[in-house]
Amino acid sequence: MKNSTFYFLLLILISFSNIVLGQTLTNGNFESGGNGIGFLINGIGYTQINPPTGSSSTGNYAITTNPQLLNSNFISGGDHTTGSGKMLVVDGNTTPGSRLWSCTSTGGALTGFTAGSIYTFSYWIKSVSNDVTNNATQANINVFFVNASNVNPVSTNNYAPLPSLGWVRVSYTFTATSNNALIEIRNNNTSILGNDFALDDFAITPGALQLTLTRTSTNPSCPTSLDGAITGVGAGGVLPYTFSLATGTSTIVNFSGVFSNLIAGTYTLSIQDAAGAVVAPILVVLNSSNDITVNAPATICAGSPTNLSVTGSADPYLWTANPPDLSLTTANNTSASPTVRPTTTTTYTFTPTAGLCANTATMNITVNPKTTPTFTQVAAVCSGATIAALPTTSNNSITGTWSPTINNTATTTYTFTPTAGLCANTATMTITVNPIAAAPTA
């Protein structure tokens, strides 16, 4: 029984060791030694400086804790792993296509892969010279795969970051096509100026990078033009991707992520990878930069003036009204801002001249009828009798003022003016003042 238990545990340990160690790079962080210990550098033009002297030339490299130990003019800084450990520092090589790093001590293939399984290869890189300022002076790192398919991203070239960005991770997902795979790194840049960098923390891990989705878009040139575009950009996950673009009840599906001939509108962009993974869709709004804008709907009193206005389109303009508005005539219906006096609720339509880059647009003017204030008639009085102040609020709740002032010596017509802003007519009231009859004579 004890022997059976021992062999069972041993079997588990062996299986676990194969899983853990099968695809693990040796000395990916350079802490276990230099060239030939877990990796190989033997490309033409590369020379190891050990120990580094603070003075280097093109193609020199060192396993060191600070770039300045290789070249005193390099930028001081620590490794990626701990900040105080070792890294591979390289003074750019001028020999084109020369192998910089290989994934095993001998330069051969790394074993332990499962054909058909997905893996992620990654490394960290930073530029170590202030002479690195643009693509011409940035190292251009190429990753070379053997026995791998569906490499993602498809482009295996990647520029080293500018010095201000520090350490940056570069990752690739691939599907193993055999139980072994070869991964190598080359620097495509042969510039003498700049082209200096450090590498650290090489790794191969089972599984793919997390799927992500970004996009770029181009607005249509005119509101009715079919020249807008949306491009979905996938990363991570498992190739190939399936992109879809939905608007309303219509959905377009393709494998490129490029959607063209689009009109202005709102679209939903989605992605799914070959393993069925998805991410949250992106809402994309395409606007026409040349579309027109009319002023907001307005509410006025019947007969009051209001202005229509339009922006975003070249003249000439044409306004029409439904129902017809007698205040909109040939004298003002081609103006950018005609003054109108509708007597009923009216919809005004702006129509650009044919061929102009603009849509038609409409705006509504709501017309409220004016209310006539009502008051209780003041009874006739005798001359000199007291007349009470007239009410400033009508029987139907309209506020305002009266003029002229009360006159108790003569019959007078008074005018009630509603408070400004109220949709109401003026009103009048005549108060009769009777003269006092003369006293009879004896």
The pLDDT-based confidence of 291 (bands split at 50, 70, 90) is: low
Is residue 278 over pLDDT 80? yes
Decide if 334 contacts 315 (C-beta within 8 A).
yes
Q: What's residue 129's pLDDT?
A: 97
**What φ, ψ does residue 212 adopt, rounded to 5°?**
-135, 160
Given pLDDT bands bounded at 50, 70 and 90, which one contains residue 192? Answer: very high
Q: Report pLDDT for 21.
A: 39
Q: In what order do the strands lie in the sheet with 346-350?
A: 298-301, 361-368, 346-350, 319-322
Cα separations (Å) of 436 from 150, 382, 384, 385? Answer: 114, 6, 9, 10
Beta strand 60-64 with 47-48 is parallel
Q: What is the pLDDT of residue 386?
A: 93
Look at residue 393 in the predicted model and tell me its pLDDT. Answer: 97
| Model confidence, pTM | 0.60
| Residue 335 pLDDT class (50, 70, 90 cuts) | confident
Question: What pLDDT score does 134 carry?
Answer: 96
Higher pLDDT: 17 or 43? It is 43
Cα angle value 126/131/135 (rounded, 5°): 70
- The answer to whether residues 81 and 167 touch, using CB atoms and an 8 Å cutoff, is no
Q: How confident is the model at residue 321 (pLDDT cuts 50, 70, 90)?
A: very high
Give the per-residue pLDDT at 4. Answer: 47
End-to-end CA distance of the chain: 155
Please tell me the predicted confidence (pLDDT) of residue 304. 87
At 316, is the pLDDT very low, low, confident or very high (cuts 50, 70, 90)? low
CA-atom Rg of the chain in angstroms: 42
CA–CA separation, 295 and 314 (whole Å): 16
Whether the link from the prior residue into 223 is cis, omega within 30° of 0, is: no
List, in order, residues 6 or more apart from 273 with CB less than 8 Å away. Answer: 208, 211, 234, 236, 237, 238, 239, 240, 241, 242
Q: Span 210-219, mean pLDDT?
A: 94
Checking if the pLDDT of 18 tops 60, the result is no
Residues 6+ apart with CB under 8 A from 217: 228, 229, 230, 231, 284, 286
- Ordered domains of the chain (ranges, CATH): 2-206 (2.60.120.260), 212-286 (2.60.40), 293-368 (2.60.40.10), 381-434 (no CATH)
- pLDDT at position 13 over 50: no
Is the model's pLDDT at 147 over the cut of 90? Answer: yes
Count Cβ atoms below 10 Å from residue 243 Cβ, excluding itself.
23
pLDDT band at 6 (very low <50, low <70, confident <90, very high): very low
The whole-number average pLDDT for the span 264-293 is 89
pLDDT in tens, 71-81: 999 999 999 99
Say what the pLDDT of residue 352 is. 79
Burial class (CB in 10 A: 0-12, 13-18, 19+), 187: buried
Minimal CA–CA distance to 140: which of 173, 98, 111, 77?
Answer: 98
Candidates 319, 314, 310, 313; CA nearest to 351 is 319
Residue 220: pLDDT over 80? yes
